[in-house]
């Protein structure tokens, strides 16, 4: 637009001139926000989300509410109770997901290093991190399944359906065939990839051939696959386990389990390495290959891509094929890494979480890994938090949602933190223009 002549950076410079004053930390802090430093935005978004989460937690807690009920007789008590509840939950979450000091104390009470290792006390120290990685594995893989199409201009809402596709094939190969150890794992994993790729590729094909919008098609595929899974698990001659009336598959063979990385006491398995390798692979694909160049061109400007001789339709099919495969790997990692059987709820909320993870990771592979680890940590810490402080695990969902809300809407964060800045003169345009000027 002709009237939008100032970029956010320029607007900041302008403001500096308008309001000269001591250039202290607070000012530098504010200016860095106005300049739209993404890192600052992210840090503030997390900070805000955790504060809001903490308050929400505290004020839904009956003890805290009782304390506030007698605020005028014991104000200190009310505030202390609020603080304890809010912070206590986070402490437990930290202990459950990263590091728990109690486990170290127990480690040092052991007679010797040998017994410590044998009885799993050493593993206990690393258990929180292991759980974080286990939880992060499907989130990273599924996040990539959304992030990759995003780079090519497609919105993959269908990770769920593709995950189910992968789970079905991986499970079937897991219990249906008998193969030697290493071979069985690999065959099942590849089967999982193929199962997801088939569903994703179908979506790409429909879009390329008929112009059907991928959002609609993927959403519909989610329903189709969910009910298809329920159907498969309802009949013994299909995938239902024998001698049961429950909708559950037989357990997969031990040979098909993803190998544990650090012994039997820790659940962390090769799936995590697969996830990291996929992230690295996708980065390489996007940034170092002609195919990735095509994907990114098609994503940013399909008509220029077409004019430059790229086959836009082929890119759509290919990108959905790979994305479906990644989602399929998610399914394989869950079945072969932690669940070992398939039931109608096995796919959980990974398909939806994938979108959140991809959003938080700005659609980039490294971002997806970090976002996956973060959400993995939240998930891993939740059970301990609930058992110790009584905070419901749903708190984690709220936290996730609030973090993503703030990350996805930087103007919100800017607006919130400018409220604390006394004078707002001369920067009126920044909020409205900041993100897309």
Partner 1 sequence: MELELKGITKRFGSLVANDRIDLSVAPGQVHALLGENGAGKTTLMNVLYGLLQPDDGTILIDGKPARFGSPKDAIAAGIGMVHQHFMLVPVFTVAENVTLGIEETRRSGLLDRRKTRKDVRELSHRYGLEVDPDALVENLPVGIQQRVEIVKALVREATVLILDEPTAVLTPAETQDLFRIIRQLKQGGKSIVFISHKLKEVQAIADTITVLRRGAVVGERPPSATEDELASLMVGRSVQLRVSKQAAKPGDVVLDVTDLTVTDETGRIWVNGMSFQVRAGEILGVAGVQGNGQTELCEALMGLRPTAAGQVTLNGRDLTRATPTQRLRAGVAYVPEDRREDGLVGDFSVADNMVLDVYNRPPFASGIRLHPDAIAANAAERVQEFDVRTTSADTPVGTLSGGNQQKVILARELGHEHKVLVASQPTRGLDVGSIEFVHRRIVDQRDKGVAVLIVSAELDEIYALADRIAVMYEGRITGFRPPTVPAEELGLLMAGATDQNPGPPGPEPTPSAPTAIPGAGQ
Asked if residue 3 binds partner 1 (CB under 8 A), the reply is yes
| Look-up of token digits 């559950």 | 248
List 303, 420, 422, 436, residue binding partner 1 (CB under 8 A)? 303
- Whole-angstrom distance, CA of residue 185 vs CA of residue 183: 6
Q: Quick one: which segment of 77-85, 99-107, 242-250, 293-301 binds partner 1 (CB under 8 A)?
A: 293-301
List 102, 118, 288, 423, residue binding partner 1 (CB under 8 A)? 288
Q: Rg of the chain over CA atoms, in angstroms? A: 25
Q: Which two tokens stand for residue 218?
A: 């993927």
Q: Quick one: which segment of 157-165, 275-283, 300-308, 327-335 binds partner 1 (CB under 8 A)?
A: 300-308
Asked if residue 301 binds partner 1 (CB under 8 A), the reply is yes
Q: Which is nearer to partner 1, 53 or 292 (CB)?
A: 292
- Whole-angstrom distance, CA of residue 66 vs CA of residue 81: 10
Asked if residue 102 binds partner 1 (CB under 8 A), the reply is no
List 27, 306, 314, 418, residue binding partner 1 (CB under 8 A)? 306
Asked if residue 1 binds partner 1 (CB under 8 A), the reply is yes
The closest alpha carbon to 353, from 142, 77, 100, belongs to 142
List 103, 291, 343, 397, residue binding partner 1 (CB under 8 A)? 291
How many CB atoms neighbour CB 352 within 10 A? 14
Q: Which is nearer to partner 1, 222 or 297 (CB)?
A: 297
- Whole-angstrom distance, CA of residue 417 vs CA of residue 390: 32
Q: Which is nearer to partner 1, 201 or 292 (CB)?
A: 292
Distances (CA, A) of 177 to 164, 169, 172, 181, 253: 20, 11, 8, 12, 9
Encoded one letter per residue, x for contact with partner 1 by CB under 8 A and - for no contact, window 21-40 reads: --------------------
Give the end-to-end CA distance of the chain in Å, rounded to a whole number.
Answer: 9
Q: Quick one: which segment of 37-45, 213-221, 303-311, 416-424 binds partner 1 (CB under 8 A)?
A: 303-311
Could you tell me the smallest distance in angstroms from the CB atom of residue 124 to partner 1? 45
Could you tell me the smallest distance in angstroms from the CB atom of residue 325 to partner 1? 17
**What is the sign of the dihedral through the CA atoms of 273, 278, 279 and 283?**
positive
Q: Which is nearer to partner 1, 102 or 288 (CB)?
A: 288
Q: Which two tokens stand for residue 4?
A: 């939008």
The closest alpha carbon to 168, from 145, 191, 151, belongs to 191
Q: Which is nearer to partner 1, 164 or 285 (CB)?
A: 285
Asked if residue 20 binds partner 1 (CB under 8 A), the reply is no
Asked if residue 307 binds partner 1 (CB under 8 A), the reply is yes
Q: Which is nearer to partner 1, 35 or 119 (CB)?
A: 35
| Look-up of token digits 């040979």 | 255
Asked if residue 297 binds partner 1 (CB under 8 A), the reply is yes
List 37, 77, 213, 296, residue binding partner 1 (CB under 8 A)? 296
- Whole-angstrom distance, CA of residue 293 vs CA of residue 428: 39
Asked if residue 209 binds partner 1 (CB under 8 A), the reply is no
List 22, 290, 419, 436, residue binding partner 1 (CB under 8 A)? 290
Cβ atoms of 329 and 191 within 8 Å: the answer is no
Q: Which two tokens stand for residue 426?
A: 């001369």
Total residues at the site for partner 1 (CB under 8 A)? 31
Could you tell me the smallest distance in angstroms from the CB atom of residue 424 to partner 1? 15
Asked if residue 292 binds partner 1 (CB under 8 A), the reply is yes
Asked if residue 211 binds partner 1 (CB under 8 A), the reply is no
Asked if residue 2 binds partner 1 (CB under 8 A), the reply is yes
- Whole-angstrom distance, CA of residue 377 vs CA of residue 382: 8
Q: Which is nearer to partner 1, 251 or 426 (CB)?
A: 426
Question: How would DSSP label each residue in 109-161?
Answer: TSS-HHHHHHTTHHHHHHHHHHHHHHHHHHHHHHHHHHHHHHHTT----THHH
Asked if residue 349 binds partner 1 (CB under 8 A), the reply is no
Cβ atoms of 413 and 406 within 8 Å: the answer is yes
In sequence order, which residues have a C-beta less than 8 Å from that of residue 254 and are 6 or more positions away?
none
List 46, 155, 228, 293, residue binding partner 1 (CB under 8 A)? 293
Query: Torsions phi, psi of 351, nearest 5?
Result: -60, -40
- Whole-angstrom distance, CA of residue 243 vs CA of residue 175: 16
Residues that bind partner 1 (CB under 8 A): 1-3, 5-7, 9-10, 13-14, 17, 287-293, 296-297, 300-301, 303-310, 426
């Amino acid at each position: 637009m002709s009237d939008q002549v100032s970029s956010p950076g320029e607007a900041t410079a302008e403001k500096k001139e308008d309001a000269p004053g001591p250039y202290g930390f607070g000012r530098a802090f504010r200016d860095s926000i106005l300049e739209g430093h993404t890192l600052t935005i992210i840090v503030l978004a997390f900070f805000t989300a955790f504060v809001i989460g903490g308050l929400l937690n505290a004020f839904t807690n009956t003890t805290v509410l009782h304390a506030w009920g007698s605020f005028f007789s014991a104000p200190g008590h009310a505030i202390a109770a609020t603080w304890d509840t809010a912070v206590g939950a986070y402490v437990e979450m930290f202990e459950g997901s990263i590091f728990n000091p109690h486990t170290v104390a127990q480690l040092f009470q052991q007679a010797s290093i040998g017994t410590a290792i044998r009885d799993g006390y050493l593993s206990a120290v690393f258990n929180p991190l292991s759980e974080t990685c286990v939880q992060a594995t499907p989130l990273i893989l599924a996040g990539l399944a959304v992030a990759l199409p995003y780079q090519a201009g497609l919105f993959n809402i269908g990770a769920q359906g593709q995950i189910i596709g992968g789970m079905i094939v991986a499970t079937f190969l897991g219990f249906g065939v008998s193969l030697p150890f290493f071979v069985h794992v690999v065959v099942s994993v590849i089967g999982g990839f193929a199962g997801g790729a088939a569903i994703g590729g179908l979506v790409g094909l429909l879009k390329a051939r008929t112009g059907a919008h991928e959002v609609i098609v993927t959403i519909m595929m989610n329903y189709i696959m969910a009910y298809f899974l329920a159907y498969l698990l309802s009949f013994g001659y299909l995938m239902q386990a024998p001698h049961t009336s429950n909708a559950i598959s037989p357990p997969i063979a031990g040979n098909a389990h993803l190998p544990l990385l650090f012994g039997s006491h820790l659940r962390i398995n090769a799936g995590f390495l697969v996830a990291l390798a996929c992230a690295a692979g996708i980065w390489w694909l996007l940034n170092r290959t002609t195919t990735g160049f095509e994907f990114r061109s098609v994503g940013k400007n399909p008509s220029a891509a077409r004019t430059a001789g790229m086959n836009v339709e082929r890119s759509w099919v290919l990108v959905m094929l790979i994305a479906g495969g990644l989602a399929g790997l998610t399914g394989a990692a869950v079945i072969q890494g932690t669940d070992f059987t398939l039931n109608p709820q096995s796919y959980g909320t990974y398909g939806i979480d994938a979108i959140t993870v991809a959003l938080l990771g700005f659609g980039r592979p490294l971002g997806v890994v970090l976002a996956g680890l973060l959400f993995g940590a939240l998930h891993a810490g939740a059970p301990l938090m609930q058992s110790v402080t009584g905070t419901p695990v749903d708190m984690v969902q709220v936290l996730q949602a609030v973090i993503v809300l703030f990350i996805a809407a930087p103007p919100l964060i800017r607006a919130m933190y400018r409220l604390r800045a006394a004078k707002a003169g001369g920067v009126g345009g920044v909020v409205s223009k900041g993100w897309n000027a």
